[in-house]
Chains A and B, each alone.
Chain A
Amino acid sequence: MLAAGEEGIVDSPGMGEFKVHRVRFFNYVPSGIRCVAYNDQSNRLAVSRTDGTVEIYNLSANYFQEKFFSGHESRATEALCWAKGQRLFSAGLNGEIIEYDLQALNIKYAMDAFGGPIWSMAASPSGSQLLVGCEDGSVKLFQVTPEKIQFERNFDRQKSRILSLSWHPSGTHVAAGSIDYISVFDVKSENWLMDSFGDETDFNLLGSAIHKMLVDRQYMGVSKRKCIIWGVAFLSDGTVISVDSAGKVQFWDSATGTLVKNHLIANADVQSIAVSDQEDSFVVGTAEGTVFHFQLVSVTSNSSEKQWVRTKPFQHHTHDVRAVAHSPTALISGGTDTHLVIRPLMEKVEVKNYDAALRKITFPHRRLVSCAKKRQLLLFQFAHHLELWRLGSTVATGKNGDTLPLSKDADHLLHLKAKVSKMPAFLRSALQILFSEDSTKLFVASNQGSLHVIRLLEGSFKHLHTFQPQSGTVESMCLLAVSPDGNWLAASGTSAGVHVYSVKHLKLHCTVPAYNFPVTALAIAPNTNNLVIAHSDQQVFEYSIPDKQYTEWSRTIQKQGFHHLWLQRDTPITHISFHPKRPMHILLHDAYMFCIIDKSLPLPNDKTLLYNPLPPTNESDVIRRRTAHAFKISKIYKPWNLTSGRISTISLQPLLFMELLDERTLVAVERPLDDIIAQLPPPIKKKKFGT
């Protein structure tokens, strides 16, 4: 216990004891990953989930999830691809092709392909054409126009649904995976190209030969009912690689239609495949959660003859790996277990930095919890609904480590599903909304880049003003922060810096200089009106709004640099708050740590212990003062750090939200991984004993 007298002795008093509301009833379960698509030009990764959500990760900005499109029950995404440079398309079982507007962060348009549910989609190597494979066995070609896409023609209809598609790198041929066979056809002549083989010789009406490569249904000597071709990849030398539900990776010669090589790699389905641009390596994902890396290696030294060899298996997933991608330096995989795993290829990584570490992204990089401090209410944001809870209370007191008896348990107050429909048109689509501290104003960031200020009256509201976006930009604002006195509003988009508006004068006050990395959290401190900004590269800036410049402290820490361990953290800061009575403190957290920055203490340098446990209270002041530094961090969850922090001795779980309710009360919303895993479907059972 930290006695009051002692606080007076120590230069910078500690935070002392808190009542912590530990909330674990936020039943957040991320959806399983369905597709991933890597864009080479922008080094971005698009990920779609089974609930139709699409997320964009910026791999150059420390894997930050910078954009987000919420899903809808009626849209189950089955395919995702980039075309025409950086345009993103998805297609799904509702039969629609959707293009996303990456600037405004909304859906640009949806177009029905009229082929029933769409199972697969592929953009041509040039990016100017889109091919979709439908439930009715048709393959449809769309032209990508500057504004939209336009249907061009159908290819010959196949007997069953087209589950996978791949273009030849020259754009002249396409391989299509169906059930029990793969077809290869010529894009120019619109005809199936290959010679027939096996007993499935067909000729179409135009007289050109249809060719299908029949896949063996047998699985370990037992004939399965059907063999589903989950993925195909067409290489420039004419080889077609297929992966199927019988656990096989097969290499076909598309010119002759013959099976060249067969790898049986799993006892279950192989569900996904991705090839590197150089075509010297590819990756497949299986239903057992294993990812296999295949590489083209020389048979012997000096010989130019190369063959595909299965080189490395990775087991980072517990469930089906539904999607894989191959960036120049990493293998990316995702699946039913909801983790996005980025496994760097060590031989391709030149510098030991962020990119050399294995990444497992589980939690969203944005805040899903909001808190009404005075009323002690928590609002949880789910994919398709909201939940409002009231925190419990206690009258008891206790000492460090005690769990207090509850006089009132937490209540689930509301479950909001329907949207309020009586909204003016300009408020229909909001990316972010924020109330002022005194609840008299509402700030709405719309997807056109504008910010609306609305005055709230008893039972009604009045539109006060709209801050128009800077001329020439249509980028949407996705983070908002308002100062406690209600005078300043800060807003940030994904790249263009932070704008600060004066709410009193309803005009742009200043713009914080643009920084290379996206903003992950924003907050304005009470009294000083200092704007604290956290970026995805773990830099934290403090900017004085009245002075229109960075504060002295911010300059000092930029000059000295952050501690290397601070910069090595792999989750972004999602929330910043302040202590009402201690202006020198900044509270911030990410999913795995909670930190109080005490600006009055010296900054840590690379030689100091960053994760500095609180020395025992009986330690002399000299030692306390010598070891204390500005970053007081509690590391969370990762079991090997249990003893290093202060809170962590009681092992907090991954932290989705943490906020000070008042001087002596904290609320922490945790989400234990076990609870998420418990709600996933059971993985494929593997026999452990007696095999």
Chain B
Amino acid sequence: MCFRRLARKLPLPVENKETRPRIDLIVFIVNLLSERSLQSVESSLAHLHSDCFLGKVCFLVTDGELRATFNNCKCAHTHFCRCVLRRVTLSVSQTADGVNAAAVRLQNILTVSAGMSPIATTALYLSSLTRCSVTSDLEED
């Protein structure tokens, strides 16, 4: 059984701590063009234990034109943007098909994170496979 919880920011409220099941995956839904969105994500990241970043965190960018928005992103969070882009796993285009496809991919990540993949694969291993090891600055002349 899979529980999904939405939260505006971290940390989660202290009250429900006991009844909360184990968290398998944390997805940050980011809009690169919105200043508030970036701020909120940045502040929430500080509340996460560093272990989480070994495969339990992923970023979902809701603006299909990643590079274009990144180029336009003149916010003060440029450094943060660069970090985000390196860890980005998903970008969603605004079509219905795109949203479906992103949902399926998210589900695949979740299956592995929750330890339910058919042949044992850890979330860490999966994140090492999908990690972008090259900077995404592909500016040409």
A pairs with B: no
Residues of A within 8 A of B (CB): none
Residues of B within 8 A of A (CB): none
